[in-house]
C-alpha cells in the first residue's frame, strides 16, 4: 500500500514540475512575441524557480527514503543541475539580459521538460504496475 502512495505522490510532484516549467516556457514565449514586458516576464519566471527546485529536491528525497533507487538515480542528474545553477547564482533570469538569452533559456526549459516527461512515464508505469499488483 505504501508503494502505491509513493508512486501517486511522485506522479503529482512530477506533474507539478511539468506545470511549473510550462508556465516558465509560456512566459518566455510571451516575451518573444512582445505580449509581455521583460520585467514582468523575469519576475514571473523567477517567482517559480525556487518552488521548482524545492519540489525536485523533495521528490528525490521521497524516492530515496522509500527505496525506489532506479527512479531516484534517474532524477539525480536533474537535481544536480538545479543545485549547480543555484550555487553558481545562475538560477534567476536577469531582466537586462533576457532578450539576448531568450533562445538559451527556452532550450533549457525544453530539455528539462523532455527529461521530466521520461520521469513522468516511468512514474506512471510504476504507479499502474503497483496498482495492478496491489489489487490482484
pLDDT at 81: 96
CB 15 within 8 A of CB 120: yes
Share of the chain above pLDDT 90, in %: 89
Residue ranges covered by each domain of the chain: 1-133
C-alpha grid cell for residue 8? 501517486
C-alpha grid cell for residue 55? 519540489
- Which pLDDT tens digit goes with each residue over 59-106? 999 999 999 999 999 999 999 999 999 999 999 999 999 999 999 999
Q: Does position 136 have pLDDT exceeding 80, yes or no?
A: no
Please, which pLDDT band fits residue 111 given cuts at 50, 70 and 90? Answer: very high
pLDDT at 38: 95
Q: Does position 5 have pLDDT exceeding 80, yes or no?
A: yes
Q: Please tell me the pTM assigned to this model.
A: 0.93
Burial class from Cβ neighbours inside 10 Å (0-12, 13-18, 19+) for residue 65 reads exposed
Amino acid at each position: 500500500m505504501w508503494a502505491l502512495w509513493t508512486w501517486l505522490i511522485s506522479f503529482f510532484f512530477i506533474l507539478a514540475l511539468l506545470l511549473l516549467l510550462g508556465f516558465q516556457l509560456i512566459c518566455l514565449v510571451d516575451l518573444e512575441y512582445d505580449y509581455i514586458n521583460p520585467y514582468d516576464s523575469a519576475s514571473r519566471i523567477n517567482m517559480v524557480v525556487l518552488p521548482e527546485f524545492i519540489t525536485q529536491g523533495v521528490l528525490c528525497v521521497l524516492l530515496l527514503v522509500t527505496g525506489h533507487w532506479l527512479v531516484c538515480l534517474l532524477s539525480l542528474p536533474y537535481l544536480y543541475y538545479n543545485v549547480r545553477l543555484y550555487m553558481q547564482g545562475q538560477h534567476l533570469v536577469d531582466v537586462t539580459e533576457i532578450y539576448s538569452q531568450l533562445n538559451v533559456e527556452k532550450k533549457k526549459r525544453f530539455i528539462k521538460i523532455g527529461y521530466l516527461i521520461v520521469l513522468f512515464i516511468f512514474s506512471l508505469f510504476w504507479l499502474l504496475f503497483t496498482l495492478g499488483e496491489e489489487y490482484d
